[in-house]
Structures are given as C-alpha cells and as structure tokens.
C-alpha cells in the first residue's frame, strides 16, 4: 500500500557523507562532487556545514565551495548550521536552505552536542526564528529515532516530542535519522504508528543508515506511511562513526534503483547517478581507500 508514487531523494553526500569519511577532501574535489550531483537532477543537495572547523575539519571551506559552485535555478543548495554563528556564515554564502539538528535521546545529545536536548532546542529555536525572518527554509534533523548508541532503543514518544518542537519553531520538514543503522522495519512501523497521530507525513523525511543492511527495507516501511522524501549519500559516502569500517548512509544509487523497481518516480537521471558514483569511487581510490 504505497500511496506515494513521486519520491524526492535529498542528496547528503557532500555534507553528511564527507563529514564521516576519514581524511581531508580538498575544495576542488568538493566542488566537483557537487557539480556531478547537480547533473543528476536533485532538487536539494546538502553541500556542507557551517560548524567549527577545528571540531569538524572535513567541513572547513564550505563558504568557498558555495562561492565556486555553479548555481542551478532548479536545485536548492543547503548547509547544516548548529548555531547563530553558523547561520551568519550560511546567510553570507547565500545558501538556499539550512538544516539544524537535535537528538531524540539524551545520551547522543550529550555525547554529540555536549548539551541536553532541551538546551539544544533552545539554540535551534533562535536559529530557526532568525532564519524564518529572512525567509530561509529550515529543515530539522532528529538523530537516533530508532536506537541510540548510549541509551538503547528509542521510545517513539521521545521522537514525537522533539519533532513537534522543531516543527513549532518553523522547520518545514523533519528528517528522521536511524543514526546507528540498527533499526528494523517493525521499529520503523512502531515509530510511524505513533508519529502520524500528531504529524502529517508530508512534513517528514527518512534518513536511514545501512549499517545493519536494512536501510532499503526500512525505507520501504516508511513509504507505507506516506513519507515521500528520503536522504541518501552518493556511493554510500560516510561510514558509520560508531562502527568503524561498516556502512553508514544508504547509497543514493541503491535507493534510486529500489524506487525504480517499485515504479516510483524520483526525477533523477540514472546515467548521471552512475557517473557521480564513479566520481566517489575514484575519490576513494585516490585516497587509498577501498
Ligand atoms: Mg547520515
């Protein structure tokens, strides 16, 4: 029962992917990656983030990448922003959309952001309000929606709580992340059975990781609930930071093929996707990886 025939895939490789790859990627390579992705026809590409470069060195130079990419009118180029300083950087770079992030669990919030969920939401409410004042669309990420590396299985109520707050701040869409990729389709169904009592599925996106090899099945489960936006990363860029060497972000080409098999339209150019995946493969080979 998929009521959804038209799917949007949000490409997060240049940000969520590269951020979790070991080693430095130069600006030319990043610009090249964004350009080959733009050729594929994505409506949204997450280009980078305006975070402290001493904490996340892979994301240094995001402003420069924005300066150098050729902007297409039919593509929105977005960036992740953790605070008001990041928002300043994003506005100066004339990004088309920003993303903010919070955790559904206290353990991950404390470990990843260094603050409680409540404190992180205070900051995000300011960022979202300021962005809305300038008509900049804001996407919210919620991590650990199925399971947390510190707190174990996540209660659906916790996800509903954070999701509703972010929507209340003015986020247009909430992307729900199975950050450690250990969720099962039944967990996805339990989450959406609860979420859809309070939230319109058209405001939701799925961000699944393939660490447990179940990302495609989990996407299929979310699809049953009318979710029509899914995040993925070209070439599966971005391993799982909690399980070195194992898969993280689900690969765009795999998601694309799955939707094609199901008769869903993504509007993406399959040949261009293959070229972009090859670009990532060459990148890995040049870095000495597999
Ligand atoms: Mg991810």
Please report the pLDDT score of residue 246 as a whole number: 72
118 CB-near residues (< 8 Å, 6+ apart): none
- Locate 249 and state its tokens: 């972000």
- Find the 119 Cα to ligand 1 centroid distance in Å: 23
| In a domain? residue 245 | yes
Please report the pLDDT score of residue 128 as a whole number: 97
DSSP 84-106: HHHHHHHHHTT-SEEEEEEESSH
| In a domain? residue 2 | no
**Active-site hit among 40, 171, 240, 256:** 240
- Locate 253 and state its tokens: 């080409």
- First and final C-alpha spacing in the chain: 39
Please report the pLDDT score of residue 289 as a whole number: 58
Distance of CA 106 to the CA centre of its chain: 20
- Find the 153 Cα to ligand 1 centroid distance in Å: 18
| In a domain? residue 24 | yes
- Find the 208 Cα to ligand 1 centroid distance in Å: 7
| In a domain? residue 241 | yes
Q: What's the predicted TM-score (pTM) here?
A: 0.95
- Residue 240 annotated in active site: yes
- Locate 138 and state its tokens: 């804001």
| In a domain? residue 262 | yes
Please report the pLDDT score of residue 4 as a whole number: 55
Please report the pLDDT score of residue 284 as a whole number: 83
Please report the pLDDT score of residue 2 as a whole number: 47
Tell me, what CATH number does 281's domain have? Answer: 3.20.20.70
Number of domains in the chain: 1
- Find the 72 Cα to ligand 1 centroid distance in Å: 25
Q: Are residues 49 and 264 in contact, defined by beta-carbon separation less than 8 angstroms?
A: no
pLDDT averaged per 10 residues, the chain (length 290): 76 92 85 97 97 81 96 96 96 98 96 95 97 95 96 98 98 96 97 98 97 96 97 90 78 97 95 96 77
Residue-number span of the structural domain to which 76 is assigned: 8-286
| In a domain? residue 261 | yes
Please report the pLDDT score of residue 53 as a whole number: 80
């Amino acid at each position: 029962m998929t009521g959804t025939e038209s799917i949007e895939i949000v490409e997060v490789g240049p940000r969520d992917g590269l951020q979790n790859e070991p080693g430095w990627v130069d600006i030319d390579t990043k610009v090249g990656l964004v350009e080959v992705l733009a050729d594929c026809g994505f409506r949204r590409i997450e280009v980078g983030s305006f975070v402290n470069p001493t904490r996340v060195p892979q994301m240094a130079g995001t402003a420069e990448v924005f300066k150098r990419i050729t902007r297409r009118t039919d593509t929105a180029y977005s960036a992740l922003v953790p605070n008001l300083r990041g928002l300043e950087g994003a506005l100066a770079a004339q990004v088309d959309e920003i993303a903010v992030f919070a955790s559904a669990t206290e353990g991950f919030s404390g470990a990843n952001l260094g603050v409680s969920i409540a404190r992180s939401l205070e900051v995000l409410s300011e960022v979202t309000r300021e962005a809305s004042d300038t008509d900049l669309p804001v996407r919210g990420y919620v991590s650990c929606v199925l399971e947390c590396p510190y707190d174990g299985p996540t209660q659906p109520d916790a996800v509903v709580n954070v999701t509703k707050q972010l929507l209340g701040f003015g986020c247009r869409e909430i992307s729900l992340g199975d950050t450690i990729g250990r969720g099962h389709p039944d967990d996805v169904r339990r989450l959406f059975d609860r979420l859809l009592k309070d939230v319109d599925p058209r405001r939701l996106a799925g961000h699944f990781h393939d660490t447990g090899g179940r990302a495609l099945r989990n996407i299929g489960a979310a699809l049953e609930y009318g979710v029509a936006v899914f995040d993925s990363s070209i070439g599966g860029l971005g391993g799982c930071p909690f399980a070195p060497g194992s898969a993280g972000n689900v690969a765009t080409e795999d998601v694309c093929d799955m939707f094609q098999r199901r008769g869903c339209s993504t509007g993406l150019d399959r040949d261009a996707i293959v070229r972009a995946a090859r670009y990532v493969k060459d990148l890995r080979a040049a870095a000495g990886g597999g």
